């Protein structure tokens, strides 16, 4: 009896292997997207407008792409300063930017894109994971509740040659 139970448990675990691996991969992907969104959302919440005080250096454009960052110093309305790279230039001294103590963007648009687009992807992943889990659960219940399929009909047995019917 115990060996039958072990075989059944082993069979169930092997049958669950692929769905569990897919579910685990989705959870890892959801976690990575959530961390990405959370970091950018934190910047969006904690940042404030500032004015560029100095531009130290700007990365030159490569090919047709514009410069991607400029090192600079900025001042906040309360008089405190920050310094670091400004993402998505072009900016000039005196321009208003969106910044924290050691990071800055030329506007809030890149942060909004970095939060809302992956956030929508995160919602789709969560909903997709729930749909897959529910669908899997429904399929396994149907498989357990369904009667076994009927056996195929036996072919007619071969009659040995004989005299045949008499009339």
pLDDT per residue as tens digits for the range 72-99 = 899 999 999 999 888 877 788 899 999 9
Task: Give tens-digit pLDDT for 110-134.
Answer: 899 988 988 888 788 788 878 888 8
Cα(68)–Cα(83) distance, rounded to whole angstroms? 16
Task: Give tens-digit pLDDT for 34-57.
Answer: 888 888 899 999 999 999 998 876
Share of the chain above pLDDT 70, in %: 72
Hey, what long-range contacts does 76-85 have (CB within 8 A, 24 or more apart)? 76/48, 76/49, 76/50, 77/48, 77/49, 77/50, 81/53, 82/50
pLDDT band per the 50, 70, 90 thresholds, residue 67: low
> pTM for the whole thing?
0.57
Contact residues for 110 (Cβ-Cβ < 8 A; gap 6+):
87, 88
pLDDT of residue 51: 94
pLDDT band per the 50, 70, 90 thresholds, residue 159: low
| pLDDT mean over 11-35 | 74
pLDDT of residue 103: 92
């Amino acid at each position: 009896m115990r060996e039958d139970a072990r075989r059944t448990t082993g069979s169930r675990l092997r049958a669950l292997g692929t769905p569990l691996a897919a579910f685990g991969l989705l959870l890892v992907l959801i976690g990575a997207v959530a961390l990405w969104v959370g970091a950018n959302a934190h910047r969006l919440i904690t940042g404030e407008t500032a004015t560029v005080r100095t531009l130290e250096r700007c990365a030159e454009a490569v090919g047709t792409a514009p410069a991607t960052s400029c090192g600079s110093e900025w001042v906040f309305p309360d008089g405190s300063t920050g310094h670091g790279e400004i993402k998505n230039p072009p900016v000039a001294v005196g321009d208003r930017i969106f910044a924290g103590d050691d990071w800055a963007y030329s506007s809030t648009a890149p942060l909004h894109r970095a939060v809302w687009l992956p956030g929508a992807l995160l919602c789709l992943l969560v909903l997709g994971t729930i749909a897959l889990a529910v669908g899997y659960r429904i399929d396994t219940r149907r498989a357990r509740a369904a009667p076994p399929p009927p056996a195929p009909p036996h072919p007619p047995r071969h009659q040995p040659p004989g005299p045949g019917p008499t009339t």
